[in-house]
Amino acid sequence: MLGPNKTGFIEKEDPKVGSRDALVRPLAVAPCTSDIHTVFEDALGPRENMILGHEACGVIVEVGEDVKDCQPPLTKVSGL
Ligand SMILES: [Zn+2]
């Protein structure tokens, strides 16, 4: 969401991973009805440069030190 009634793409800094966080690179993100309300019906109040799309799938890039249930996929080693 770039602003009220306006959507598009912007670049953002990678977030810092906290001890209980996972950083996920999205592969597919779907808009939700709540996103429509946010952008076009002012459901959360005026916002700018807000990332939408909480319904997604992706690949884990990094996890925090306290995360034990998931890890980034193993990296393929060349020559094997
Ligand atoms: Zn939803």
What is the average per-residue pLDDT within 69-77?
Answer: 81
Specify if 59 maps to a domain: yes
Q: How many angstroms does the Cα of residue 25 sit away from the middle of ligand 1?
A: 19
**Total domain count for the chain?**
1
Give me ligand 1 centre to Cα 56, in Å: 10
Encode pLDDT of 12-70 as tens digits. 898 999 999 999 998 998 888 999 999 999 999 989 999 888 899 999 999 999 999 99
**Amino acid letter for position 46:** P
Tell whether 49 is covered by a domain.
Answer: yes
| Model confidence at 79: pLDDT above 70 | no
Specify if 11 maps to a domain: no
Instruction: Specify the pLDDT at position 64.
Output: 97
CA distance 63 to 68: 9
Domain that holds residue 26: 22-63
Distance from the CA of 36 to the center of ligand 1, in angstroms?
10
For residue 77, pLDDT beyond 70: no
Ligand 1 is an ion; its neighbours by CB within 5 Å are 32
The pLDDT value given to residue 75: 66
Q: Which amino acid is at 59?
A: V
Q: Is residue 51 part of a domain?
A: yes
27 domain-assigned: yes
Residue 53: which of 12, 1, 11 has the closest Cα? 1
Q: Which two tokens stand for residue 61?
A: 């890039």
